[in-house]
Structure 1
Amino acid sequence: MISSGQKKIIPNEILLPEVARLISEGHTVTLTVRGNSMNPFLVDRRDRIVLGPFTEADLQPGVAVLARESMGRIVFHRIIHRNGRELTLLGDGNLKATEQTSVADVMGIMVAAIRKDKEYPCNGQTWQRYSSWWMRLTPIRRWLLAIFRRI
């Protein structure tokens, strides 16, 4: 039994399919961010994401998704390109390493980010502004990430 305040770590390959099932039933799920691929906006072990249900029309460039990529890994990255039912994903903290997935392999979309205990709905003006600017800054992302990693 885990008392209040304790955290239990469950391997992603067990946890994330269960998260996908809950989302497919219409629930939202809040997870703590693990890893640095979504820096600078989502920081490892500090921030949380709220994942929820989606329609196929929601899967557009700029939206962050939980998906199984073509090599079988489950990733949480942003859609940077859509060609029909095929999606190209890129983590905000990554420079070139993209992943390919299909609409059918998306498990959920981020509906809110929780940074330093403040919630930012993804359809809100603040998060939309962050996302829009970060995608536009792709050509100089290398230098911006280098600065971020040094502070």
Structure 2
Amino acid sequence: MTVTAPEMANGIFGGVFNLNYSGDKNRLIWHRHWLVCISCGAYAGVGCFLFAPRGLMYGFVASLFTSCCSIWADYVHIEDPQHLAHLVDRWAAFHFFFVLVCECAYVLHMPIWYLTMTLCLALALFSLSRSSRSRQSWVLLHSAWHVLPMGLLLLPGLIS
């Protein structure tokens, strides 16, 4: 049996690597919630408190853009999984992921083991969020997916 690339992308980490994921099977779970909206600001928080004070303007702008895309998709158009906002949000998130890795590892010199553990947590939370079967668990897990990894990236600067 041959597995195609889209099938493989859908099976890995709940489809996190599938940029064309439609979200149709989550239509009844995904809904507009204030906590998810607020959690979308976590990306901007990383930009404001990690990148901007160090003069890393590309990372700062990327974080603001990612927060805006996240609010657009995860709050404004969350109940329409086919809306363009979701595709734009996924592309912005992938771009921001690479900006985070480069800025944190090569410019801020965060330990690779720390970044790897943070990435593993992010992937786990995203996968759990996407596989949620209740509206309440989706809100909590999706908000945690936004906030916890970003908080962990801010933590070393706060305690040093």
Length-normalised TM-score, structure 1: 0.28
Structure in which a larger fraction of residues adopt strand: 1
Structure in which a larger fraction of residues adopt helix: 2
Length-normalised TM-score, structure 2: 0.27
